[in-house]
Amino acid sequence: AQSVAQPEDQVNVAEGNPLTVKCTYSVSGNPYLFWYVQYPNRGLQFLLKYITGDNLVKGSYGFEAEFNKSQTSFHLKKPSALVSDSALYFCAVRDGGSQGNLIFGKGTKLSVKP
Amino acid sequence: GAGVSQTPSNKVTEKGKYVELRCDPISGHTALYWYRQSLGQGPEFLIYFQGTGAADDSGLPNDRFFAVRPEGSVSTLKIQRTERGDSAVYLCASSEGLAGPLGTDTQYFGPGTRLTVL
């Protein structure tokens, strides 16, 4: 069965410091991996995705993620955090052989302090 | 351009009542998805439409839940005999429709409908 794990409920970083939000996955076929961000009372906003090719994926708002097949991970990163990055981040996976629905992790709350 | 819209933004109902939640996808998107997000959890898949037909309804929790998309655009999620456990945020997403095993397209989400069953 497909699954996604986000091992940290919350990540705290100081503004200007690098941030990492962790995600590991389990799928039977080739993984299609996504990161979304959710601000309070808002829907999910797409950040980036990995389908194939370069393991380092660049996305919106300066975020990037590194696909690591051997570790089955897809951690979200940003070199320098902003207070406005504070939000709930969701990792999602789609099995390449599936119809299309995404399997989401439980989410990680990112808090960036000035 | 306009994103995915959902109405109402909030719905409060009483146990046992019937509710309808509406989703208006991005124009031209043929694939439409419904998810349910409970407090403190990630979204969970309910149903997926490709065009007018439900391609996958395996996520619907029981037969009280039903969704339609009669003209391949707007979709309505219908919940009969609501229960308190149905309280959640219902999210709709759409994509260009390159779904299936070769599909890699991105799903874009609406703001959600917060359903509260008293």
**What per-residue confidence (pLDDT) applies to A96?**
57
Which pLDDT tens digit goes with each residue over A34-54? Answer: 999 999 877 899 999 998 888
pLDDT tens digit sequence for B60-111: 999 999 999 999 899 999 999 999 999 999 999 999 876 555 556 889 999 9
Of A41, A97, A102, the CB nearest to B101: A97
Mean pLDDT, chain B, as a whole number?
A: 91
> Does the structure show a pLDDT above 80 at B59?
yes
Nearest CA in chain B to A40: B111
Residue range A59-88: mean pLDDT, rounded = 96
Q: Answer with the residue of higher pLDDT: B50 or B69.
A: B69
Handedness of CA A79, A85, A91, A92 (dihedral sign): negative
What is the nearest CA distance from B115 to chain A, expressed in angstroms?
13
Within 10 angstroms of residue A30's Cβ, the number of other Cβ atoms is: 13
- Better-scored residue on pLDDT, B10 or B56: B10
Closest CB to B31 among A49, A100, A106: A100
pLDDT of A95: 64
